[in-house]
A = this chain, B = another copy of it.
């Protein structure tokens, strides 16, 4: 906790210092639902028959099919454009989804309609860390699939609209040497971000405290690649009880990122690899002042016996602010305390097309949260930090004046953003849906 004066962002009262139309928005966390043809142009011909493909399942849903298995949930939580009554029901066909989930032209239209200049898109069906491919027994096949994925993502998805995306690679998580090589390979194509797990031990790999990952840390250090840890990327949900209402799980899901933050902050990775940077994707920011105060308290009270020293006598809070990139969707507490969070590493995200997204009213919501915040700080939070930290240079491709919310929305006047019900009959439950109810629903779908 610093001693500086807080400038109140009053979260609803103070006038914006930057007009909505003049804001420039870069979202460092969105999601792509992969289109069925994604492997067509990116696999050596000998692997083409092995590639994941989309099939129509017996129940009429679209599913990815790979190595003899159907993968449910093509579009987990891909509910953009649905009314909130339907948020609990994942779309089961591409036709049920908003096109912008998987079609690059429609994605750009939806970004324009929301005034979003740049976007970083996390994967859907291969899971956050490409776990799907890690289960492939023949690792040459696994690597071919993973590289095809990364090439599609970088060259086709992001490449179709230069200046509009921050590419993000999947890691060859089963082999740190292969991970390192792939980091170098994609960096040469301009990709300087890679997804990883907030806790690899929970996925069955060694922890952050193990030297196992050193080739990977070395490669991201050498290439200036940011390691992005998305909430949920440990595949472990914090469940208080299966009898608990689903709201308990929804509430806690982003808050659990604090575990990864603590785990990494006290790990040897930050000490031994001073150039590694971690992004806490969808991690929120309002918890950070408390967290930083806590880690400094732990350092002060316990350093005499725990044997833990930080580099150059740094405080843990200093180390956090130097090596972590934070991000938020809509987080008034974090904005209000932005100088305690650390304003230089704060970025913003839209989370399209998931249910926590503010699409298509992100500029309005964000502007309200940023009321009273000085313009320079608004620009840092909305785009300049993301550009610097992820080496993203849109203005080299698109004139800055064409990158604003107003300019982008002017290109999207014909985009219909009104929520469209699916037509299914949805009855609101009489009592709160419980975690076990949702688990049973998923199990029933698999049968």
Contact = CB atoms under 8 A, between A and B. Distances in A.
A340 B13 CA distance: 15
24 contacts: A1-B12, A1-B332, A84-B303, A84-B304, A85-B305, A86-B305, A87-B302, A207-B241, A207-B243, A209-B243, A209-B245, A241-B263, A244-B263, A244-B266, A247-B295, A251-B294, A255-B291, A255-B294, A290-B333, A293-B331, A301-B355, A302-B355, A306-B432, A307-B431
Contacts of A251: 262, 265-266, 291, 294-295, 298
Contacts of A304: 83-85, 87, 428
Interface stretch (A3-11, A35-43, A150-158): A3-11
Contacts of A428: 304-305, 307
A238 interface: yes
Assembly of this chain: how many copies? 2
A429 B3 contact: no
A289 B86 CA distance: 29
A374 interface: no
B295 A284 contact: no
A352 interface: no
Nearest to A305: B88
Given A209-B241, A294-B284, A305 B262 contact: no
A353 interface: no
Interface string A277-314: 00000001011011101110111011111111000000
A430 B307 contact: yes
Nearest to A252: B262
Interface in A248-270: 248, 250-252, 254-255, 258-260, 262-263, 265-267
B305 A84 contact: yes
A251 B293 CA distance: 10
Residue of A83, A206, A251, A426 contacting most chain B CB atoms (<10 Å): A251
A266 B207 contact: no
Contacts of A267: 244-245
A243 B268 CA distance: 11
Contacts of A293: 286, 331-333
A247 B266 contact: yes
Contact of A333 (B243, B289, B298): B289
A240 B207 contact: yes
A318 interface: no
A11 B201 CA distance: 38
B336 A6 contact: yes
A241 B201 contact: yes
Contact of A262 (B240, B287, B290): B240
Contact of A10 (B5, B252, B289, B295): B5
Nearest to A427: B307
A326 interface: no
A290 to B, nearest CB: 3
Nearest to A340: B333
B356 A301 contact: yes
A247 B84 CA distance: 41
Nearest to A245: B266
Most buried by B among A2, A247, A258, A434: A247
A365 to B, nearest CB: 11
A199 interface: yes
A172 B319 CA distance: 46
Interface in A322-369: 330-334, 336-337, 340, 355-356
A266 B248 CA distance: 6
Contacts of A291: 251, 255
A88 B251 CA distance: 34
A54 interface: no
A127 interface: no
A210 interface: yes
Contacts of A290: 255, 284, 286-287, 290, 331, 333-334
